[in-house]
Amino acid sequence: MLRTATWLKATATPDSANVGFFGRVARLARVHQEGAMNRVTPGGKRFRYPQRPLLGFSPADRERIRDRLLDYLHP
């Protein structure tokens, strides 16, 4: 369900920009991102979903971003 960009929403202010899931979809995304407990069906049994990160940066991504930022700041 969350595999497409259809569910991502973007908001912006003069000081920030955010891209993420909002509302009911945000709760579902958080359950999967963190591996939390949720009901399988409304009023049904609770189930601990395995952690399945949807968003985020890998350590290699973080290193690449840091290196590019440092190259930009100190050419």
DSSP string, 27-69: HHHHHHHHT-EEESSTTS-EEEPPP---S---HHHHHHHHHHH
Give the mean pLDDT of 3-10.
Answer: 83
Q: Give the pLDDT confidence score for residue 1 in this predicted structure.
A: 63
Query: What is the per-residue pLDDT across 35-55, written as a single tens digit (0 to 9) for each?
Result: 999 988 889 999 999 998 877
Give the mean pLDDT of 1-7.
Answer: 75
pLDDT band, residue 64 (cuts 50/70/90)? very high
Pick the residue with more confidence: 53 or 60? 60
| CA separation, residue 36 to residues 12, 23, 26, 55, 73 (Å) | 29, 17, 13, 16, 40
Q: Give the pLDDT confidence score for residue 67 in this predicted structure.
A: 95
